[in-house]
Structure 1
Amino acid sequence: MRSLFLLLILTLGVQSSFAKKVKLFGQHAAYANAQIKVLCYDDAFSKTEKELAILQLDRQGQFSVEFEIAETQMVFLPLGVFRGYFFAETGKEYQLSLPPRRDLSPSQRIDPFFEPQDVLLGFRNTDKDGLNSLIREFDNQFDNFINQNFDDIYNQRSSSVGVGFAKQMKSDYVQVTNTYFQVYLKYRLGFLDYLASPEAYISLESKYFTKQALELNNTAYTTLFNKIYDNSLSSAFHRKEKSKFNKALESSDPYSNLSKVMQSYTVYQDKTFRDLLLAKAVFNGTENAVLSRSKAIEILQKINENSTDSRVSQLIKNYLVNLSHLLKNTDVPNFKLGDIVLEDYKGKYLYLNFCNTTNSVWENDLESLKKLHEAFGKDIEFLSVASDLDTARFTNRLKQKDITWPMVQIDSENSILADFKINVFPTYIIINPEGKVYQYPARGPHDGVEKIFVKIQRNLLRKNYSQKK
């Protein structure tokens, strides 16, 4: 035990010795008194955000903050309609130049589909040959080339004009010694190979991932990885030997059997690469209905048990948080909507729906909802949460539609949509009397929810009958 403790201390000491400070400073009067988060991704694939620091601007808009990173890292700042980003190198100081201030509008704040515009931030204290300047210069050339020549690149194989462009870019930047940029250059140009031969997965794997270093902190590497290994359970693995992967997936020990099948291919020999790819494939499988969330969780836990790599563990930790969100019998996020709180529904079943009254799907659901409420309203509470922005219009629609259960319009400051991770309207959830998830996503009025309500109603009748006896 003592040796294990010493090993842990030593490991932590080594890790902390690798981390070096990065300093951000500057001034922008338009952001005076604002608080701006400095974020990065917590792992390579889940898009889970991690807070590195907070910029607290004073009354003149001045700011200065330090944080630690262990390697070059893409860092980003939420700036209203913009998402400012840059590539932070260890031990460096950056005098940030922020874009003009444009805060989110009320509609943008509650729009689950709104995406800020990415802006590569500039600096007032770096030379033209710095990493961010190199990436900006290269990306401008690269993006312009693809935009102007897409038809002559896509699916043109060896005749693609991208072949010559890639050679030219390698020649132009051959003298650059920045390691991060050279990896970035390689995998961004690899995207041209992908566009030229999108079905040539074996050769792309061989060229860019077989016996290659895991460059998980490099955005060009992870972008190409995501392209080539998109939906692997239903596509990439099936292009090899579909039956073997299916059989392994359906076995009593899918992790071990999938891992064995993968080891028969050269590209998957590295265990960490194999575990990362399998974890990503399993998670994506739930999004494409190839796997249930419960089975995905089981496989991910197995991967984690059999891995000693911290990058695998961190990715799986974030995937498990995502998959466990609103899982059956887990706690529902607490909420407050005016005078309505979750606690009001304790001891009762609740059919909660998120909607927008301008949404045609919800409009079609409404008459069926009314019938369901009339039939089951004594046993099951109904609550509609609307993301409408126009209060007068929302109020008029309530009167016109004669809705007989509580329907609440949320404001842009309420976090309920984010807490429940709602990204489509309408969304339905059934909550049990203990305030836990009974079904999510629940069936809608036209998708058979009536059968579930009948089951709930019968169970309540049995429970009341047994209590009376």
Structure 2
Amino acid sequence: MLQKKVFFIFSLTFLINILNAQNVIINGYAPYFKSEYIAIKCYVDFITPIDSVLCTERIDSNGYFKLILNVKQSNLVYFSIGNVKSEFYVEPDSTYSIIIKNPDTDVTDDKINYNLRQVYVSTNLEDSLKSCLHNNIQKFNDFYNYFLSANYKNLRYRNYSLADTFRILIKEQFPESNNLYFNNYVKYRVAAMEQYIQVKSEKTLVKEYIKSQPLLYDNVEYMDFFSNLYTKYLIANKKEDTIISLINNNCTYKELAKIIDDTVIIPNERVKELVILKNLYECYYKRCFEQSVIINLLEYIKDSAQFEEHKLIAKNIIKKINTLKEETIAPDFEINDNTKELVKLSDLKGKFVFITFLKKSYIPCLEEIEIIKDAYKKYNNSIVFITIFADNDDKMLKKYLLNENFEWYNLIANNTTNKKILEDYNVKTFPTNIIIDDEGKIFKYNATHLSKGGEFLLKQAAYIQRSIKQK
């Protein structure tokens, strides 16, 4: 009965959120990215930060696109086109006309690096929308960066009077607006500067910006300030040995929370719970901590936290640290290859599998394919080879694969075909190599490219596979 009641309350809350959400329409022009797919994403939380796709559309052959999404409050989202990212601030019930600028010429001229790393580009709005949140934040960021650049040396040497000057200029240039998100964005950027030049003590910062304020999970500047303020809190202030001993001796969450007794720096239970969450996430990657105990503590918070937001964050942290980690089960997939043979990863258990995500249009991928040909000849008796092509032109890919007639499995996964596999394996760059062991577990994620000496991993995998056969 209790479960039904909780489910009903959750369902009602979810329904209210949907009803409160309002349409945002974005009419865009991205001439550099004609016929590419564009997605708009938001951060689920700013601790991990895991993102979520809000909608996806294809940019037409002239460079135009239209995106429609539902938002219930002002927030940061970003456009994603391949490895290109462009941030944007949206408000409910708004229509935007935007231009996504081309990547810098010097970036795109370097084809190898451009294809392998994420590139940030700016988003511009039409003049008719000068007073919108996005433009106001851009204007503020330009002012902030100019002030920082002009006064860097003095700020570095803790010139406290500059903080007063900055606050006065902010009030003149950016008076309180009707948008609470923008007001808090400015407020916590100012707080970050005060923290940086140490014009205020940690206690004063907490009193002014944390204790008497709501916890703004969705405001990027608030969460940046919060994260910087409480980073490494658990192992600071001479507590490190105590915390390490406590956690490694399989402590409970209540035992951990009990020793955090500084009510000046941790003013309430909501702040304490989030500080513990953030710090457990940090401690997980430190060698001195038992990871299994930290996972148990995160599981407890996921199930039993006092605040619903923290249950979600704990869940995201667990997902983040477990996803594609070595010795965890690799995400399964079931796809027909270019010869229409069904390829199901779980059916390949008992063998090592070498998966390469590629784009035919990328030079480094073409180089990798040439080396895969040689590697296949050496190791195909011990290792199953799979190449997965992510170019958006299915027709071109099918023709290419037919002409090349590769001897191993060749699959297609892009924004329209088998998209989930790219998400499951968090493929952001090409080529991406993954080795899966005979039990279907990750042996090596993002393995070194074969063209850069990564063949030693295949030798190791083949050796292990042969040893298994001989037993």
| Distance change (3 Å), C-alpha of 1:175 and 1:227 | closer
Aligned to 2:441: 436
User: Take 2:101 and 2:241, find their aligned partners in 1: how far apart are those partners?
Assistant: 52
The residue correspondences of 1:325-344 to structure 2 (distance < 5 A) are 325-327=323-325, 328-331=327-330
Partner deviation per Cα, 1:144-181 (whole Å, 9 max, x = no partner): 12122222112x34536344223321343234342111
Partner deviation per Cα, 1:202-227 (whole Å, 9 max, x = no partner): 44444432332111211111222232
From 64, 67, 88, the counterpart of 1:65: 67
* TM-score (structure 1 length as normaliser): 0.72
SS of aligned partner of 1:167 = helix
- Deviation of the 1:74 alpha carbon: 0.7
- Deviation of the 1:427 alpha carbon: 10
User: Take 1:122 and 1:89, find their aligned partners in 2: how far apart are those partners?
Assistant: 14
**Aligned partner letter, 1:76:** Y
| Distance change (3 Å), C-alpha of 1:273 and 1:145 | same
The answer to whether the 8 A contact 2:354-2:386 is kept is: no
User: Take 2:461 and 2:58, find their aligned partners in 1: how far apart are those partners?
Assistant: 50
Aligned to 1:260: 258
The residue correspondences of 1:193-342 to structure 2 (distance < 5 A) are 193-197=194-198, 201-230=202-231, 232=232, 237-239=235-237, 241-327=239-325, 328-331=327-330
User: Take 1:408 and 1:344, find their aligned partners in 2: how far apart are those partners?
Assistant: 14
From 374, 379, 390, the counterpart of 1:405: 379
Partner deviation per Cα, 1:4-54 (whole Å, 9 max, x = no partner): 565445433433343222222245566554431111111222221211122
| Distance change (3 Å), C-alpha of 1:227 and 1:120 | farther
User: Take 2:430 and 2:141, find their aligned partners in 1: how far apart are those partners?
Assistant: 36
The answer to whether the 8 A contact 2:55-2:67 is kept is: yes
Aligned to 2:126: 123
The answer to whether the 8 A contact 1:389-1:411 is kept is: no
The answer to whether the 8 A contact 2:438-2:465 is kept is: no
| Distance change (3 Å), C-alpha of 1:120 and 1:309 | farther
User: Take 1:198 and 1:330, find their aligned partners in 2: how far apart are those partners?
Assistant: 49
Aligned to 1:144: 146
User: Take 1:40 and 1:285, find their aligned partners in 2: how far apart are those partners?
Assistant: 26
| Distance change (3 Å), C-alpha of 1:299 and 1:455 | farther
| Distance change (3 Å), C-alpha of 1:441 and 1:261 | farther
**Aligned partner letter, 1:260:** K
| Distance change (3 Å), C-alpha of 1:206 and 1:453 | farther
User: Take 2:363 and 2:58, find their aligned partners in 1: how far apart are those partners?
Assistant: 33
SS of aligned partner of 1:46 = coil
- Deviation of the 1:196 alpha carbon: 0.8
User: Take 1:29 and 1:454, find their aligned partners in 2: how far apart are those partners?
Assistant: 50
- Deviation of the 1:256 alpha carbon: 1.8
The answer to whether the 8 A contact 2:247-2:289 is kept is: no
The answer to whether the 8 A contact 2:356-2:388 is kept is: no
Aligned to 1:43: 45
Partner deviation per Cα, 1:335-382 (whole Å, 9 max, x = no partner): 999999785994545386989xxxxxxxxxxxxxxxxxxxxxxxxxxx
- Deviation of the 1:134 alpha carbon: 1.9
| Distance change (3 Å), C-alpha of 1:390 and 1:39 | closer
User: Take 1:87 and 1:249, find their aligned partners in 2: how far apart are those partners?
Assistant: 40
The answer to whether the 8 A contact 2:234-2:243 is kept is: no
User: Take 2:44 and 2:213, find their aligned partners in 1: how far apart are those partners?
Assistant: 22
The answer to whether the 8 A contact 1:332-1:437 is kept is: no
| Distance change (3 Å), C-alpha of 1:457 and 1:69 | same
SS of aligned partner of 1:64 = strand
SS of aligned partner of 2:46 = coil
**Aligned partner letter, 1:296:** I
Query: What is the RMSD computed on CA atoms of the aligned residues?
Result: 4.7
Aligned to 1:15: 17
